[in-house]
């Protein structure tokens, strides 16, 4: 797809009903942002607990699979909250996001992070007993989510 085709779609998204609605309100954007942050906290907690177990920092006397199973639901709840609040935030300033490098870094890491957690980290955590591999998986996952969150904050500075 050519870049001006993408830009056309971006303009359609920005002009969408939700985008328009969020922009027209003084309060809505900040309020949605706040809940986005709370979602980040929920996801952050489950990522920290899970990845720190993989890294061998937390819950050393509990098994890796136990910690992942205990945090899985809250990872999903956090991610759901983030997406449901993140989409309207994006729609309200889609064009600005398109030109923001921070936004593209964030989206790339987010997609990688989601794929990694559901298809690599969680299945491997339930199966593998290779401590070195598990530590590697934990550090990849943690790094991806740190960059996602930090670059997300940077969208607001660009």
Partner 1 sequence: MMEFIEWLASTSSSVALRESLYLYPWIESAHVLFIAIFFGTLLFVDLRLSGYVFKELSITEMNKKVLPLTIIGFILMCLTGFLLFYAIPIRNYQNLFFRIKIILMIIAGLNAYYFHRTMNRESKTWDKDSHIPFVMKFSAVSSLLLWSLVIISGRMIAYNWFDCDRQPQSEIINFLTSCIVETELYESLDGI
Contacts with partner 1 by CB under 8 A lie at 26, 30-31, 33-35, 37-38, 40-49, 52, 58-59, 62, 66, 70-71, 74, 146, 149-150, 153-154, 157
Minimum gap (Å) between residue 44 Cβ and partner 1: 3
- Please name the residue that has the structure tokens 């290779």: 130
Minimum gap (Å) between residue 152 Cβ and partner 1: 8
Q: What end-to-end distance do the CA atoms of the chain give, in Å?
A: 25
Helix extents (H) in 15-63: 17-24, 28-54
Minimum gap (Å) between residue 122 Cβ and partner 1: 16
Residue with Cβ nearer partner 1 (19 or 78): 78
Determine the Cα angle at 157 with ends 151 and 158, to 5°: 90
């Amino acid at each position: 797809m050519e870049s001006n085709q993408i830009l056309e779609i971006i303009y359609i998204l920005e002009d969408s009903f939700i985008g328009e609605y969020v922009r027209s309100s003084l309060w809505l954007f900040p309020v949605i942002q706040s809940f986005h942050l709370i979602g980040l906290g929920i996801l952050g907690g489950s990522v920290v607990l899970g990845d720190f177990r993989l890294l061998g920092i937390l819950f050393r006397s509990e098994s890796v699979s136990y910690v992942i199973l205990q945090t899985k639901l809250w990872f999903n709840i956090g991610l759901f909250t983030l997406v449901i609040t993140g989409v309207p935030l994006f729609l309200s300033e889609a064009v600005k996001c398109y030109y923001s490098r921070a936004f593209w870094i964030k989206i790339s890491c987010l997609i990688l992070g989601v794929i990694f957690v559901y298809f690599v980290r969680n299945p491997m955590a339930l199966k593998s007993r290779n401590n070195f591999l598990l530590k590697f998986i934990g550090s990849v996952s943690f790094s991806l989510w740190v960059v996602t969150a930090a670059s997300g904050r940077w969208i607001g500075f660009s």
